[in-house]
Amino acid sequence: MPRKSFFADLERVQRPGGVDRCISDVHRGDDDGCFNFTFTPHGTGSGNRGIGITAMIPELSDYPDSHQTYLYTSSADAPGAITGALAKFSPEVSQPLSALLAAVSYSLNKAMGSIGPTDSDVLMEDNEFENSDEDFQNGEDDDDEDDDISVGGWEEDYQDPITRTRQHSSAEKDEFSQDTLAPAEVRELRKALRHDLRLAKIAGFKIGVLGDYQGGVDLYVSLGIRVSKLGISDEAIDAWKLDKQKYLIMLIHYSSYYQTLERLTGDVGGYHAKKSVELCVGTATKYKPTLIEAIGAFSKISAFDNTHPLSNGTTSKEVGGLDGTIELSDDNAFRGVFISRPLNELLNSRLIQLVKYRIHHGFGWDGAERYYIDSQGRESNSLGQIDSRYYDHQEPKRALAGIVTDDSLATSSPKDASFPLLAMQLTLRHLVRCTEFCLVCHTKVQNDFEALKPYVCSSPLCLYQYMSLGFGPSIEHEIISQPTVVDLLISFCHVSAKFDKLVEFPSGMNLTVPGALFEAFQADYHRVRHELSFNQDPDTLRPPLKVGDWITIHTKANGVATSETFHARVIETEYFPKVKLATPIGYTPPSNPVLPNPQNAYKASNPQAIPQQLYQPVDNLPTVLPVTFSIYNVNFDSLPESQKTQNILQILETLPSVAEMRMWLQRNTKVGEEASLKMWKNRISPPALGILRWIIASNRSCIVPVDHEMDSLGGIINGPGSKKWSEQRVWGMGDWLQFRFAMGAPDKEQRFLEAVQDAQKRLNQPHSSLFAFHGSPLSNWHSIIREGLHFKKTQHGRAFGNGCYHSLDLNVSMGYSGTAAGSSVHTSAPSWSQSSLNIKAAISLNEIVNAPNEFVSKAPHLVVSQLDWIQTRYLFIKIGGNKSVPFDDAASSRPTLIHPQDDAYTPRGLLGNLIIPATVSGYRTRNVLFPGGPPPPTPSLSPTKIAKMKKRISHIIPNLESSSNTPIVLDDDLTDDASIATESSDILALISDDEDDDDDLFSHEDTGSTNRKTDGSSIPKEGAFIPGSLDTSDLPMLPLPSYATGGASKRIQSDLRSIVRLQQTQSIEELGWYVDTSRTDNIYQWIVELHSFPEHLPLYKDMKEKNVKSIVLEMRFGSQYPMSPPFIRVVRPRFRGFGQGGGGHVTVGGALCMELLTNSGWSAVSSLESVLLQVRMMIAEESPPARLAAGPVQFYAPSEARDAYLRACRTHGWTVPADFASIV
């Protein structure tokens, strides 16, 4: 435990001889993490009373590896040399107390000039220092690349020393985290970075570098590859919501210099190296994200996984971050993929350890992953005996692209391996082969069926984490974007449960369901107030009800339980024996028992007539009724399967309709908030939400509406662009709803195509495939869409052999689905009562290899035993009730491009032979027919475009460790007309700087102009922001601060250097903010300009109209920074207040209404780049949008901002920083 370690170390240094002889009187301070000691300079007489010093460690939980230590003197008459040395001491140097005190003693003795050559040797021997004297000389050799940076007259006075100590208990070197490296060390790291990026380039990836890749602090490295090159089928692309034209990007953030594979996997310094590396995965139109997107991907901005309901179902623009995704305004932006969370968790928690196992034991990826799982919770194998099974190589279940199966560690020595390349290769392994791995524990999934979508293994714990941690699909997004599909999935589950056909259950999700009726409590229920009243007899057992509990209430008539049951949430228990309930949810079972006394019985409202009515009082009943109720307190996992099935049926009936859920999300989710049904607490119970999540997440197929959508009232209407959709709609199915339908493994389409081509070669048929119907009862479809079509079970007899049965006649398949007159199959069960579809039947249309003579039977049914010969294409749904689909299958709605069919094997629908769109067959264009006219022109590359194909960079970059000069093509997408050119900054990261001391190529003087991205013109466009043009002479600023502390000054200097580096290497327009360091007269007071807002914002239009080039902010740091946040206010121009229709989190006084800028939301590890990004994003929010005040441009007074900030903190309950009064 860190706390115990701290106090144990503190006790150790208090012992005689436990610390350097210049340190004495070590004792605990007033607070946890605080201790005091006395320093007596070396060589001072015993009469010297010494100098009192206090040390503070704010976060004991980080001790002893990653904590920060702040030092200050408590002696009023301490020499200036002592206070100066303490101010320069780096708080980031994490050391145990004994090493810390030794380093303090040495630094202070050095500052006092009390160490001579002999004394120095003695001290270094006593304390076992590894650094020579010059290591502690501030600013001489720490980073000469920053020597040219002078910030507002503040020279580099505060350089972080590199303190390395050797522990008494170990002879091995322990390198602690470092803020600043010597120039030679930086050059070596840059050389290693160049080597690793070259290897990634050779492997076929586009590389990108962002941030300070010259100095090494806050460095971002990306590896990208176009999705189309990964060999993923079109069906999987659709199911996984990927875009073939975009790039898959693996982004790495190095917060403190580039970390080599050797250091990350080594025993020396590996812990600190790993803490400075973060990884995430996403996609973007370009091969690398912008710097703002990279910062946002790793920032702590609240993550939104879901599409916002107000977007009318369109996809959110998101950034895939470590904790999920964040919204951006551009669909081309860097955003998460469908399994970003599992991939990010895998890369950040396991990658380095997996690589370490591979290096130490010689495993492949399979063996390392198995060894990792088996090693959890037990000691490592000290005998060095490794089971041979870890060396077994498992071939992929399907053919994969070479770049997906490449393994650089298997073909090179660990010394020459590239960490970014290995990270990308593991990413591709678990993305392209995602259906083979559990999304939680990442082990191989053992299934006897193929799936198109990834899921979890059979472990209940994995299912629980998958659902609770948000690894699965967002149910809110599915409800908003595909409401009819959600309705379909719930209906399938409901009817499957009704006929006891469920095979798998939502076990392991910690669901609590209603208890048994015989365990019920008794009470009186007030039908108007929704209150339960209990007998106050002390002998009566008080029910264990608390706020948030759900109960099932059964009404009574003449003391006998009736059929009426409703569910409600407890919302108040303070006034027992009265318990307040939320408005109950009514539910009537389909079969009502006969009441003993029918004269006094009452008939409940019919939920079939009014879907999911809330409970309404019946006129002929008294206001207060005796009821029994049971609490939702039974663990679902403990029930037998029959009761699990009944509970699923009962709980599904408590759900609102999909249309209601969609409408609630649209009305109750604000922009910037996460769309979540969890907030509908009084309407949807936790088990109902859990079962809904399980139904949606466990669907392993891809179902997409073709010709319809759901309106706000649950009606089924033509989808948007219905004319375009008619090109994908099968003609001849009447008013059956149509869905595109795909199942099976991601390579199922490829295997099907291979079977088609093989049959074509053997049989030379004019038509390579045919189409036929497959009908099955509704109760089977919940399993079919999860397991695919198979013939493991015999349900209707197999008079024509074993195989998957198909028919060319729709009426025959309807008989097997139970909808045809006289069908021997059971008729459709009553569908889910809240369904807008009211499904009566489901039939799929499948494409089959055209080899009837090789089928098990070809008459009267097509019986196919080769499952690879079958590919599902469409799912047809017959809806009932008063629902009707506005399609008439008129000639005008026939598809333009049709798929040719064999006359002898053409499926017959309701209106004759089906006309099938050509796009159905895996998006192939083979043998397409164009009825009524010539084919449309085929798009092709024009000679001009061909002439403009990108040039290959002529640089030949040799492998660092090889004598052969292997050319590397810096632009590898030459055959792709949509290729994106490699940026010059990324090319510079690859090009050698002579591998020696020549740093001219990467000097600040060069990168200031060479690396900064421009639009190709040196003349700014009209209205563009011009850095350095702000007149600050008339800005009303806060008075210059009179305070300064060593810790704060040190951190601010470090932050300011990072800001300078970013502005030197990145496009100012891309950053969106600017700090003019030449006007920074005091490092505690910055002027920041926000600019280049998107043109669609009302704020941009207001700024253009008033000729305002930037929003001017004042950023003020307090004496306790970074433990307290900076104060940020708008100086100019004035904004509209919230009451006048303004927004953007700008208060009426100009302060920013952001929890991040208070002690409640601030984190000491926040980078200022991230803070400025979040401030800009908040001001650029669109609901409500920020607007400038009417009239001429005006200023905010500092006093206005102060009062507005305090007012906002009081309103929201946020904590005001302790040093705020001194700031303002």
Angle of CA points 1073, 1076, 1081, to nearest 5°: 135
Tens digit of pLDDT for each residue in 45-99?
555 678 888 888 877 777 877 788 888 776 767 787 787 788 777 665 677 888 8
Question: Closest by alpha carbon to 293, among 326, 244, 316?
Answer: 326
Judge contact between 1156 and 1174, C-beta under 8 A: yes
1057-1073 pLDDT tens trace: 888 888 887 888 888 99
Q: What letter does residue 548 receive in the DSSP assignment? A: T
> What is the helix (H) or strand (E) element at residue 83, kind and residue range?
helix 80-88
Q: Is residue 690 over pLDDT 70?
A: yes
* Average pLDDT score, the chain: 75
- Give the tokens for residue 108: 């202070």
pLDDT band at 24 (very low <50, low <70, confident <90, very high): confident
Peptide bond into 640 cis (omega under 30): no
pLDDT of residue 1089: 94
pLDDT category at 941 given cuts 50, 70, 90 is very low
pLDDT higher than threshold 90 for residue 423:
yes
Q: Which residue has the tokens 């159905």?
A: 920
The confidence score (pLDDT) of residue 1126 equals 94
Tokens of 1004: 């600040």
Per-residue confidence at 251, pLDDT binned at 50, 70, 90?
very high
Distance CA 735, CA 878 (A): 8
Which residue has better confidence, 1024 or 518? 1024
Give pLDDT tens digits for 809-858: 999 988 887 764 444 444 455 678 899 888 999 999 999 999 999 999 98
Confidence of residue 215 (pLDDT cuts 50, 70, 90): low
Amino acid at 441: C
Residue 1118 has what pLDDT?
A: 92
pLDDT at 380 over 60: no
The model's confidence at residue 795, banded by pLDDT at 50, 70 and 90, is: low
Residue with tokens 């264009």: 925
pLDDT for the residue numbered 528 = 85
Residue 150 has pLDDT above 50, yes or no: no
d(CA 859, CA 953): 63
More confident residue, 73 or 1108: 1108
Cβ-contact 171, 1022 below 8 angstroms: no
Distance separating alpha carbons of residues 1054 and 71, to the nearest angstrom: 18
Cα–Cα distance between 588 and 607 in angstroms, integer?
7
Averaged pLDDT for residues 715-742: 74
Task: Return all residues near 1211 (Cβ < 8 A) that are at least 6 apart.
Answer: none
Residues 580 and 530: beta-carbon distance below 8 Å? yes
Please tell me which of 173-182, 527-536, 562-571, 676-685 the model is most confident about, judged by mean pLDDT: 676-685
Could you tell me where the DSSP H helices lie in 129-233? 183-202
**Over the range 1114-1144, which residues count as b (16 or more CB within 10 Å of their CB) and which as e?**
bbbbbbbbbbbbbbbbbbbbbbbbeeeebbb
Q: What is the mean pLDDT of residues 914-937?
A: 56
Beta strands in 785-898 (DSSP E): 804-806, 839-849, 862-864, 870-879
- Model confidence at 759: pLDDT above 50: yes
> Which of 209-223, 442-456, 692-706, 785-799 is predicted with the least confidence, judged by mean pLDDT?
785-799
Sort 1048 into a burial class: Cβ within 10 Å, 0-12 / 13-18 / 19+.
buried
The residue among 586 and 960 whose pLDDT is bigger is: 586
Residues 910, 229: Cα–Cα separation, whole Å: 42
- Rounded to an integer, the average pLDDT of 243-251 is 92
Query: Does residue 1088 register a pLDDT over 90?
Result: yes
> 966-990 pLDDT, tens per residue?
333 334 443 444 456 666 667 666 6
Phi-psi region of 1119 (alpha: psi -120 to 50; beta: other; left: phi over 0): alpha
Site of tokens 């507002």 = 152
pLDDT in tens, 614-638: 444 444 567 888 888 899 999 999 9
* pLDDT single digits (tens) 476-509: 888 988 899 999 999 999 999 999 989 889 988 8
Q: Taking Cα atoms as reference points, which of 155, 141, 221, 225 lies closest to residue 186?
A: 141
Q: What percent of the chain has pLDDT over 70?
A: 72
Share of the chain above pLDDT 90, in %: 23
Which residues fall within 8 angstroms of residue 138, CB to CB, at 6 or more apart?
88, 157, 158, 159, 161
Reported confidence tier of residue 269, pLDDT bands at 50, 70, 90: low
CA of residue 622 relative to chain centroid, distance: 53
Cα separation of 1113 and 1146, whole Å?
11
Q: What is the mean pLDDT of residues 1162-1187?
A: 87
Look at 269-273, 409-413, 1183-1187 and tell me which has the smallest mean pLDDT: 269-273
Q: What is the pLDDT of residue 673?
A: 61
Strands (E), 115-246: 206-211, 219-226
Mean pLDDT, residues 147-169:
33
* pTM score, whole prediction: 0.58
Select from 370, 433, 438, 425 the least CA-distant residue to 398. Answer: 433
Give me the pLDDT at residue 425, please: 94
Residue 141: per-residue pLDDT: 36
Q: What is d(CA 804, CA 780) in angstroms, rounded to the nearest whole number?
A: 14
